[in-house]
Amino acid sequence: MDEILGEFIAETLETLETLSSEVVAWEADPTDQSRLAAFFRFFHTVKGSCGFLNLPRFERLAHAAEDVLAAVRRGERGADPATVSAVLAVMDRIGALARGLGGDETIPESDDDALLDALLASAGGFEIFEPLPEAHDDTPASIIADPPAGEAEGHGSEPDAAGPAHAKAGERAPRTIRLPLALIDQLMSGISDMVLARNDLARRMRERAIDPDLESSFERLSANVADLRDMISKTRMQRVDRLYAAIPRMVRDLTRELGKKATLDLDGGEVEMDREMIEMVVDPLTHIVRNALDHGIETPAERRAAGKAEAGALHVVARQSGNQIVIEVRDDGRGIDRAALVEKAIGAGLLTAADAARIGDAEKLNLIFHAGLSTAAEVTSISGRGVGMDVVRANIEQIGGVIAIASVPGRGTTITMRVPLTLTIIPGLIVRSGQHFFAMPRNNVVELLHQTSGMVAIEEVGGARIATIRGQRHAFIDLEDVLKLGRAKNASGPRTLMVIRSPAGQPYVLGVQAVESNEELVIRPASPSVTAAGVFAGMTLPDNGQPMLLLDAAGLAHVARLALRETDAWHRTAAPEAEVQAEPTMQALMFRERDGTRRLIPLAVVDRVEDIAAEQIAPCGTAAFVRIEERLVPALNAAERADSGLKSLRLYAGDEQLCYLIADVIDIVDVPLTVDAGLAGGRLAGLVMVGEGQFEMLDPFALFAEARAQGTIARAGQPIRCLIPDEDDAWMRNILAPLLVQAGHEVRFGPVTEVATEADAAHVILRGKAHDAEGPDAGEIPVVTLREDAVPTAAAPDTVYRYDRAQIFAAIAQAARRVA
Amino acid sequence: MTESLFLFASIADVPVAVRAAEVEAVVRLGDIVPIPLVQAHVRGLAALRSRVLTVIDMEARIFGKGGLDESASLAIVADIAAHSYGFLVDAVSDICLAPEEAQPVHGRIDPAWAPYVSGVVQREGRSHLLVTLADFAAPPGAGALAA
């Protein structure tokens, strides 16, 4: 928001500067329509920007001036000198306020009223200005001091020792200049040249023996170039706030228009993405938000009837995930009516009733992305004007993104857009076909396999080739065949199969000679004579300096004449439906044990994977602990000494946790819910087939039981609060209390004044032998009494010997459990 | 009569002239990476510093076949509609001033050349066919081209 505010200030002042030359001319000839239009536009822009920047004071001034000018334009009022002066005064005030926002100058707001009065007075008492409907707290100081949540970084957090006046001076807007984008692009390509020259130099240096000094200075230069490239790329980045800027206003206006209520929650505004990308996402996002308000969120009456809060909740969340930006729009509205969608689709001839009966829920939902299908019963002015989700999807896919939809009837809809971080740099796989190298965008590639893998079965039926991978049948094409290239005769090793997900429809399998490497590629558009081939999406210059073409997954499928559109797919897969039907699966983490064995564990119990240094492991008798963030977590597999870094799977079950030490994490795989071959006993639940191998699946139940049996399971919940009423007892104070604290419990001293029902009451009271077994006021709180003698006496049979550590802890734990 | 700068070159032994304003540079290209599935006159891609040029064989474009042999590397570099191209030619003879107004072509020109030639530029008493690079870059079938 700071950035937007800064931009607003810069823009406003810039426009004012341009207009200032017009002022005199306008005064001389107030009837000049073109000048009048320029002023009108200025106020209009200011008013518009202020709406979402929450600058009501600006808005009020601009609104009033705009009204007056509109009246002048309509000829309802003359541009007499008084009016002109009043308008100019408002302009000056806006300029002063804008400068005030960036600095520490304040103008009392009451002055504004005088200006507005002047505007109205010159209208001859004719009431043009209407007060805005909402009352805002609108002193400039509060605007600055009270920015929308999450925007205060770098401001409010500064130490404020010098008092408010100085703090405000520190809030001066950062100094900025405006640069043409073309200049940044030139800088970027200059840097790219530098990177290539560096790579070329590096290659030449490798070819001959170079003295180490030269090498080290080259390394330094090389690192600088890399940093510089990163910095230049950052100049293209902008905060997602910019994308959010127009949403609050839109939601406000739309809800009023539709007679609905909605609360808006914007999250992740600090995430940065390429400014060009932001521009590409604005329209789809706007459309999705409109849809959510128009079709998703119900009217207050409907919501009440459905037992929901009157105001719908709309969440827009942005986050970075790897090199993608995920933007999620979530509403708690009525969800998407599948039946209506299907009916429309049948009506539009997209599918037959038989198809409709067969397709799954996800496919029904995906119908919404088809042209001409909108579930709204009536086309409203807000959305549903023919440009629908099909256009949204096309726009997102055009920039290499993916859009997904999830919807629960009656509960709401979530639409997730995943777009690359920048338009120009994408991760790609370099594939080889004979002498040729091509790049394939990595987000098109679902999976890589060797053709000889046991998971793949390739058959040829009447010229069509089909690859069956784990029961899924895919159309299979070879890159060389599609591109009409010769096969390499002496290719060594098996060919590689890539399962390609193309925006155009069903995944297919593409065979290539080899996948060479994985690189971040700077993509530029290919020239029309190249794109005419229909299979190339762009071109790139990887670090080796040899130009390379980027393959277009959808284009390849098209050129290979694969019928891939969903509708076609329904028809094609009619027969083998049952065979393809996947059994329910769960996700499991595949990891390498410290002895090298590959095993699986259900992902659900893994809270996190951590790097563990050898020093963090604390053996303790037969058990062991891992020290994590000043806490000891029981560990399994810690018996062997670690020479190098280990990883730990933090397993989590309610309030118990333990660390399972492993060598490394391999992958996350889908496995059947039930093991293929059960084993009884031990840590293993059984064998699970994954792809072409079978792996042992750990049994979390057995792991926790084992840790418990070792007596090492940590109670991750609240520590036990112990109360020692006799704080003068030296043994209690100096010997027992430290022992308890060390064990993670809380110790308090003092008389028993509380009862067990209080929230922070002690769990257990500890007494020495000097006291009677039961205090008069202990209430419900259990008491553990310690004795000095090893042998219990007949007088106090239930006491615990005070040097029996295990007994003491057991008694405390038991007492605490009794309270719980 | 005003004069302007022209680049004089030869394609298939035919002297041609290109307005210098269209030309960015004349370079010898390094390796040309061939492109599958495109028309024969699109020779491939070549790197020029950090730029990637689409290399067009002008001779092949004009005659629809044949063209220069593999070793050809002399290219006129030009940016057309935000894309960079290298146009392969046999030879480049000179850049110099010539009368700006192209003269009409007298006599019947080879039909293959006809779509590309907009006139004749005289230099040192010799006629050069005036061509526009953009005509060679446009994808086939676009505009007036029938190559």
Determine contact: B83 vs chain A, CB below 8 A. Answer: yes
Indicate the pairing of strand B117-123 with strand B126-131: antiparallel
Instruction: Say whether residue B34 is in contact with chain A using an 8 A CB cutoff.
Output: yes
Residues A541, A592 share a domain: no
Whether A31 and A148 share a structural domain: yes
On whether both A136 and A13 belong to a single domain, the answer is yes
Task: Based on the fold, state whether residues A568 and A629 are members of the same structural domain.
Answer: no
| H or E, element range at A315 | strand A312-321
Only one residue has tokens 């002042």, namely A13
User: For residue A645, is it within any domain?
Assistant: yes
What pairs with residue B83 in β-bridges?
A: B80
* Whether A496 and A612 share a structural domain: no
CA distance A323 to chain B (A): 24
Please say if the pLDDT value at position B65 is more than 70: yes
Check CB contact under 8 Å for A533 and B139: no
Cβ atoms of A55 and A245 closer than 8 Å: no
* One domain, residues A305 and A414: yes
Considering the domain architecture, whether residues A215 and A308 belong to the same structural domain is answered as: no
Under an 8 A CB cutoff, do B50 and A539 touch?
no
Of A323 and A59, more confident: A59
Q: Are residues A405 and A442 in the same domain?
A: no
Has residue B142 been placed in a domain?
no
- Report pTM: 0.47
Residue B37, class by beta-carbon neighbours within 10 Å (0-12 exposed, 13-18 middle, 19+ buried)?
Answer: middle
Which ranges of A330-443 does DSSP label H, i.e. alpha helix? Answer: 338-347, 353-358, 361-366, 389-398
Look at residue B1 and tell me whether its pLDDT is greater than 70: no
Cα B70 from Cα A128, distance rounded (Å): 78
- Domain around B60: 3-136
Contacts of B37 in chain A (CB under 8 A): 483-484, 533-535, 559
The CATH number that applies at residue A25 is: 1.20.120.160
Measured CA to CA, the distance from residue B29 to residue B76 in angstroms comes to 10
Greater confidence (A77 vs A468) lies with A468
What are the pLDDT digits (tens) for A141-183?
Answer: 333 333 333 333 333 333 333 333 443 444 455 677 777 878 8
Q: Are residues A49 and A131 in the same domain?
A: yes
> Both tokens of residue A652?
């989590």
- Tell me if A666 sits within 8 A of A598, measured CB to CB: yes
Contacts of B82 in chain A (CB under 8 A): 525
pLDDT: which is higher, A218 or A70: A218
- Report the pLDDT averaged over residues A278-288: 86
Strands A693-698 vs A598-602: parallel, antiparallel or unpaired = parallel
pLDDT for A461 beyond 80: yes
CB-CB under 8 Å, A532 with B38: yes
Residue A648, in any domain of the structure: yes
Contact B114/A at CB under 8 A: no
Q: Which amino acid is at A507?
A: P
User: How does pLDDT run across A672-723, given as a tens digit for each residue?
Assistant: 777 766 665 678 777 777 776 778 888 888 888 777 766 544 444 457 788 8
Mean predicted confidence (pLDDT) in A72-77: 76
From the list A425, A427, A441, A418, the residue with the least C-alpha distance to A510 is A441
Q: What are phi and psi of A809, to 5 degrees?
A: -65, -40
* Nearest CB to A196 within list B49, B81, B137: B49
CATH number for the domain that contains residue A545:
2.40.50.180
User: Do the Cβ atoms of B54 and A530 come within 8 Å?
Assistant: yes
Q: Decide which of A696, A714, A732 is a domain's last residue.
A: A714
- Assigned token pair, A761: 């009451």
A267: containing domain: 241-337+375-420
Question: Looking at residue A388, which CATH number applies to its domain?
Answer: 3.30.565.10
Q: Which residues in chain B are contacts of A541 at CB distance < 8 A?
A: 47, 50-52
CB atoms within 10 A of CB A536: 23
**Looking at chain A, which residue has its C-alpha nearest residue B85?**
A527
User: Residue B108 domain-assigned?
Assistant: yes
Closest by alpha carbon to A412, among A340, A337, A322? A337
Q: What is the mean pLDDT of chain A?
A: 75
Asked if B49 reaches chain A (Cβ–Cβ under 8 Å), the answer is yes
Confidence of residue A671 (pLDDT cuts 50, 70, 90): confident
Q: Which of A104-118, A236-250, B59-73 has the lowest mean pLDDT?
A: A104-118
Shared domain check, A673 and A530: no
Residue B66, in any domain of the structure? yes
Query: Among B33, B37, B42, whose Cβ lies nearest the Cβ of A483?
Result: B37
Distance CA A655, CA A368 (A): 43
pLDDT of residue A342: 84
Residue A614 has pLDDT above 60, yes or no: yes
Q: Clarify whether residues A79 and A107 are in a common domain.
A: yes
Residue ending a domain, choose from A146, A170, A194: A170
- Subunit contact A528:B34, Cβ cutoff 8 A: no
CATH for B129: 2.40.50.180
Residue B69 lies in a domain: yes
Distance from CA of B97 to the nearest CA of A (A): 31
More confident position, A635 or B57: B57
Q: 3-state DSSP call for residue A789?
A: coil
Q: Which CATH number fits the domain that encloses residue A729?
A: 3.40.50.2300
In sequence order, which ranges of A629-734 are alpha helices (DSSP H)?
A: 700-709, 730
Q: Which of A505, A503, A494 minimizes the C-alpha distance to A453?
A: A494
What residue in B sits closest to A525 (Cα-Cα)? B83
Lowest mean pLDDT among A132-136, A179-183, A497-501: A132-136
Angstrom distance (rounded) from CA A248 to CA A239: 16
Q: Do B138 and A525 touch (CB under 8 A)?
A: no
* pLDDT given at position A157: 38
Which carries the bigger pLDDT value, residue B9 or residue A156? B9
Q: Which residue has the tokens 């090389």?
A: A222
On chain A, the residues whose CB falls within 8 A of the CB of B84 are: 527
- Residue B55 contacts A where some CB pair is shorter than 8 Å: no
Distance CA A251, CA A266 (A): 12
Rounded Cα gap, residues A44 and A66, in angstroms: 6
Residue ending a domain, among A551, A577, A603, is A577
Of A607, A604, A632, nearest to A620 (Cα)? A632
**Helix locations, A29-80, DSSP H:** 33-53, 56-73
> Cβ–Cβ contacts within 10 Å for residue A602, how many?
18
User: Is residue B143 in a domain?
Assistant: no
H or E stretch covering A559: helix A553-559
- The DSSP secondary structure of B74-120, one letter per residue, reads EEEEEEETTEEEEEE-SEEEEEEEEESSPBPPPSPPPTTTGGGEEEE
- Give the tens place of pLDDT for each residue, A357-384: 878 788 788 888 876 665 444 444 444 4
Cβ neighbors of A554 (< 8 A, separation 6 or more) are A502, A503, A504
Q: Are residues A30 and A161 in the same domain?
A: yes
Taking the CA atoms of residue A568, residue A574, residue A577 and residue A579 in that order, the dihedral angle to the nearest 10 degrees is: -110
Number of domains in chain B: 1
User: Are B54 and A527 an interchain contact pair (Cβ–Cβ within 8 Å)?
Assistant: yes
Sign of the dihedral defined by the CA atoms of residues A484, A485, A486, A489, in that order: negative
**Inside any domain, residue B146:** no
Compute chain B's Rg from CA coordinates. Answer: 15
Number of domains present in the structure of chain A? 6
- Note whether residue A350 is domain-resident: no
